[in-house]
Structure 1
Amino acid sequence: MRIHYLQHVPFEDLGMMAPVLVTGGHQLSKTQFFKSCTLPSVNDFDCLIVMGGPMGANDEPSYPWLYEEKKLIEQAVRHKKNILGICLGA
């Protein structure tokens, strides 16, 4: 399975999920908003994991990438992708 995860801050990564997923044969890709705001197409992944962070879901003025991130999540829902939301991602 192709799994893409959205990481908002350096200290909120996949943690112990990463080695388990890789060992299980899954392909991982990521968007790290603190480095870049390049988002994949909804067709580029089978599962989306949205990690946490100190920002709130409605903090677009301070974190303008939240708008595009929420659009991607909405597309993932419409395309019936598997989604795991953790903290902010929930």
Structure 2
Amino acid sequence: MNQMEKFYVIKRTTGKDEQFTVIDAMSLDEADAIFLVRHERDKDAMNKGEEFLIFQADGELKFDENNRVVLPTKGEMMLHRKLS
């Protein structure tokens, strides 16, 4: 039986990454669906070049010296990007 996992949602802009929210879900697909329902307005309000990254938490969230999130080396990730 699956158990609830923690998924980070990161908002990536031109200048930096920031933790947007944390979602508890049974899978990455479920976390993505929850994000799309709860944060539809935020996704629709993105500017060109902005992204939302969703991935399973593997310990504490870490950022590098350029304020970019250190992405996990394994697992899958969902990406929502504003192209135009």
TM over 0.5: no
| Higher fraction of helix | 1
| Higher fraction of strand | 2
Query: What TM-score, normalized by structure 2, do the two folds share?
Result: 0.29
